[in-house]
Structures are given as structure tokens and as C-alpha cells.
Amino acid sequence: MGEIKIDELQKLYDNKKVGSLVQEICEYYATKEDYEDNSYQDEIEPPEVVESVYILFCLQSREQILDEFALIQKKYPNLYESVNPIHNTILINMDYRLLENQCAEKLMGHVTDTSLEEILAHVDSFTRSSNTLSEAVDKFYSWLHSRSR
């Protein structure tokens, strides 16, 4: 990761207008680019899981998340290059139910005996019972790991 992106990421963590979930997403996408030969896959969840989980939880507060990405685009342009694809995915999919279903279907391939409806119900439940979206994501991963193949 270039020094400019590192500097922008550090500044992002001090920005109170950007929530912890978007900060986490920025770090994920910025550092993901630095791994060669997909070596990151040994250290983190598969990209289709991580990216689907992020999208599902971003959709829970879509307008707020879009505002935070717009702020990143304006204040941290080098960092924004990394998150531009997820921002655009959330922005252009006005029918977010279809996007939710697509993400849940991707997750179904990584868990046993779990329906699309059950995945979406857990996303909703963890979002409602958590103080932040990052906390909800952590709870979801715990649940997801308990169901993993």
C-alpha cells in the first residue's frame, strides 16, 4: 500500500464523520490490493464472503453509508480508488432487495443448512441488537462460522 493511502487511512480513523464499518471496509480494500497471488486468502475470509457481508450490512444504513463514501471520495481520493467498486455497487442498485438476495446466495455456498431468509433475518437481527454496524458484522461472522462447512 502506498504511503499516500497509509496517510489517508490514518486520517480516516481520526474522522468522526466516518463510521467504524466504512473505516474497516476501507482498510480491507486498501490492504487487499497489496497481497500477491491471493495469499491473503490464508489469513482472512474468502473475498466473496467478506464483500457479501459488507454489502449486506451497508444496505442496513444505505443512505448513511453512501454519505460516508462520498466524504471519502472528496477527502481521501487515493483511498477511495480502493473502495470505489463497493461504493458504486451500493449506489447503483436501487433495488437493494435484489442485491441483498445475491449476497445472501453467495454466503449460502459457505454455510450448511441455512436458507437465504435465515441469513437475511440474522443480518437484520444483529443490526437491530448492536450499537454499531461493525459490532453487528462481528456477531454475524460468529454466527456464520458456527454454520460453516
Q: What pLDDT is recorded for position 148? A: 75
Half-sphere exposure of 102 (CA within 13 A, CB side): 13
Q: Which domain holds residue 40?
A: 3-146
Question: Which tens digit of pLDDT belongs to each residue from 103-125?
Answer: 999 999 888 889 999 999 999 99
Question: pTM of this prediction?
Answer: 0.89
Residue 21: predicted pLDDT: 97
Cell of 39: 495469499
> What total of structural domains would you count in the chain?
1
C-alpha cell at 97: 432487495
| Closest to 66 (Cα-Cα) out of 46, 34, 92 | 92
Question: By the 8 A CB rule, do 21 and 73 touch?
Answer: no
pLDDT at position 44 is 66
What are the tens digits of pLDDT across the range 12-55?
999 999 999 999 999 999 988 666 555 555 556 889 999 999 99
Say how far apart CA 124 and CA 136 lie, in whole Å: 9
| Residue 79 · residue 11 · CB < 8 Å | no
